[in-house]
Structure 1
Amino acid sequence: MNRLKGEKGKRKYSSKVHKENKDTPTPSTEKKRWRKSAKKPRIKIDRTKYIRVDRDILPPDAEHKGYRSVVVQNIKFTTDNVEYKLERFYSPSENKLYEAELPEGIHGEFGNDLKAFVVYLYYACRVTENKIKKILEEAGIVISAGEISNILTQEKKEELTKEREEILKACLESSSYFHIDDTGVKHEGKNHHIRVICNEKFSAFFITPKKDRGRQSSTFLV
């Protein structure tokens, strides 16, 4: 219309927005290529087994070209029961028996590796005690439910109790407030009370023979 009237036409403005080159990936759009890491260098080889070609099928001109490596991972779950023969001497003059001592750290019917395995299954893998018993018995270990319980609760009891007390003390000292509550519970066939001290940072549970909150003997659970 402006041009028909002898006026200048509407001015065209060039866009200042430049189109991005779609061929150039930006850091946000560029995808990192996933590469599978080599597993073989990290695998421990326990034994090597050579498998040879049947010589009867080889032609006369066949040349030996070494071996192609194939790694197969496997596991063995077996017992390592040790019978210690403790040497003994008797002195008639002293009326005394001398006997060799077990290696340091060995006491009771079960070795440290077995105890560590029980603790690992229970605390790290959340395996119940009856399942642990089944696993060990299927491997050839003769063990009772009570012995498994003792490994989990009685081994290093003093050390664990001290550690728990230190943790509770640190939690109480670092907290501006905490809640206390209790409820009745059966413990070893007798009426007891389970008490909880907690806030949003921690929870501690105790079993006490009486409901009163005075100083009394208690079993620190968690």
Structure 2
Amino acid sequence: MDKGTEPPRPAKNEKRRFRGKVAPRVSIEDQVVKVAVPEGSCFRGHEPFLVQDLVISVCATRYQRERWVTPDGRTLLAPLPAGIDGHFGPELRRFVLMHYHQGQSTLARLTTLLRSVGVSISKRQLQRLLTDKQADFVAEAQDVLRAGLATAPYVSVDDTGARHKAKNGFCTQIGNDWFTWFATRTSKTRLNFLDLLRAGHSDYVLNDAAYGYMRKHSLATPLIARLAGQPETRFANHKAWLAHLDRLGFTALEVTPDPVRVATEAAVWGSVQAHKFLCDAVVLSDDAGQFNVGHHALCWVHAERLVHKLDAFTDMHRAAQTRVRSLIWDFYTSLKAYRLKPSPRRAVGLRARFDRIFLRRTGFVTLDRLLKRLHANKAELLMVLQRPEIPLHTNGSENDIRC
């Protein structure tokens, strides 16, 4: 739908038949090639002929580290240069990581390649380069997530099934046009998603955001008052939080919704807000329930797909389905134009037009029920009218998580 609603590109008068000159991204070394000529010939300059080549070489450095013994008996050993960690240098590590993860090369083939150019390395050593001492990568990924959640105007999220440690799990993606981040867990619940949004923090916080979450998710007012009446508002870890709920009698209650679950989700959301994550950012999702937190927006492509996949059994049903899809596509085109030039007047008109589309009665009962359900998501589908900077779809997450 997104590509189908793009304006047609102007036709070019002339089509270029050739790909043009090669433009290398590295410095060019000039080398003059001479030729034997007869006496009396006239020199007419040079004719350039560009050749690109690749040189892969191996170097080995033996660092002679000074050792000294101080007068008090201590041994001092000269430190290795910055970037040296182990018996393989940073460029070799970068080469291994790129070919294994980005090039999807197997360990056996990568070992053969490195040995063919002169590197003395075993398959086990190569495996250790990929799996051992990766704390810096983990810390860097966590810093990227924290920076993104603290500064981004929106994040797009998605998840998919993934294998991890020989077990089925779920890989969750969080990102936007500037960053993307992945985590694989055994659960895809809302509590799991909220825990990911804490970006490595483990505390539980009771604040205005937490109490607002409890009221939104129908936690009983006396229970909220019981939590608010206690002096403790911050808990270091899950064990301390559960002990607090047990003292207040939450764990003994057997009601719906589960007080322990709602209160825990609220405290985690309070922690997210306390660390200044997603304070005013929009969470854009495909309508999966676990992602409905904070300022939430929905993907229009997934909404239209529900209409597209609806089974129609008669000509009247197919005609109604086609008509509604056409109206949605036209409305989507208008939303794309609004993002480029937003105005309060156009926003009012688009809201009224949304009602006319999704409150219509087509005579196709299943389609009418679907339109009514989509109309209930009006605020989330039209979040772009308040925040024109957010996309209308989660295609970015779909592309990031596809690999």
The TM-score range, normalised by the shorter chain, is 0.5 to 0.7
Compare 135-144 and 154-163 and name the one that shifted more. Answer: 154-163
Is residue 58 from structure 1 mapped to residue 41 from structure 2 by the alignment? no
Is residue 85 from structure 1 mapped to residue 64 from structure 2 by the alignment? yes
Kindly report which structure 2 residues correspond to 1:1-222, keeping only aligned pairs within 5 A, or say none.
32-34=14-16, 36-40=19-23, 42=25, 44-45=27-28, 47-54=29-36, 57-59=37-39, 61-91=40-70, 93-157=71-135, 159-160=137-138, 163=141, 194-197=167-170, 204=184
Residue deviations 1:22-46 (CA, integer Å, cap 9, x gap): xxxxx8776641253321465531x
Change (3 A) 1:200 1:116: closer
Name the aligned partner's letter for residue 100 of structure 2.
Y
Please give the alpha-carbon distance, in whole angstroms, between the structure 2 residues aligned to 1:181 and 1:70.
50
Shift of 1:99: 2.5
Name the aligned partner's letter for residue 140 of structure 1.
G
Q: Which has the higher contact order (CA 8 A, sep 6+)?
A: 2
Shift of 1:48: 3.2
Change (3 A) 1:83 1:122: same
Please give the alpha-carbon distance, in whole angstroms, between the structure 1 residues aligned to 2:136 and 2:24.
43
Length-normalised TM-score, structure 1 = 0.56
Residue deviations 1:166-195 (CA, integer Å, cap 9, x gap): 97xx9xxx9xxx99999xx9x8xxxxx724
Percent identity of equivalent pairs: 19
Shift of 1:66: 3.0
SS at match of 1:98: strand
Name the aligned partner's letter for residue 71 of structure 1.
L
SS at match of 2:88: coil
Please give the alpha-carbon distance, in whole angstroms, between the structure 2 residues aligned to 1:49 and 1:39.
18
Residue deviations 1:96-124 (CA, integer Å, cap 9, x gap): 33322111121101001100110000111
Corresponding residue for residue 3 of structure 1: none
C-alpha root-mean-square deviation of aligned residues, in Å?
4.1
Name the aligned partner's letter for residue 122 of structure 1.
Y
Change (3 A) 1:100 1:52: same
SS at match of 2:68: strand
Name the aligned partner's letter for residue 33 of structure 1.
K
Change (3 A) 1:131 1:36: same
Residue deviations 1:117-154 (CA, integer Å, cap 9, x gap): 10000111110111110100101111111111111112
Change (3 A) 1:118 1:50: same
Contact 2:162 2:184 (8 Å CA) reproduced: no
Corresponding residue for residue 13 of structure 1: none
SS at match of 1:33: coil
Name the aligned partner's letter for residue 108 of structure 1.
G
Unaligned runs of 5+ in 1: 1-26, 188-192, 207-214, 216-222
Please give the alpha-carbon distance, in whole angstroms, between the structure 2 residues aligned to 1:28 and 1:116.
43
Contact 1:195 1:205 (8 Å CA) reproduced: no
Name the aligned partner's letter for residue 123 of structure 2.
A
Length-normalised TM-score, structure 2 = 0.33
Shift of 1:161: 7.5
Name the aligned partner's letter for residue 76 of structure 2.
Y
Please give the alpha-carbon distance, in whole angstroms, between the structure 1 residues aligned to 2:84 and 2:139.
22
Shift of 1:73: 0.9
Unaligned runs of 5+ in 2: 1-8, 150-154, 175-181, 187-237, 239-403
Q: How many residues align?
A: 163
Contact 1:196 1:203 (8 Å CA) reproduced: no
* Structure with the largest fraction of helix: 2
Shift of 1:198: 6.3
Contact 1:179 1:198 (8 Å CA) reproduced: yes
Please give the alpha-carbon distance, in whole angstroms, between the structure 1 residues aligned to 2:104 and 2:162.
27
Change (3 A) 1:29 1:71: closer
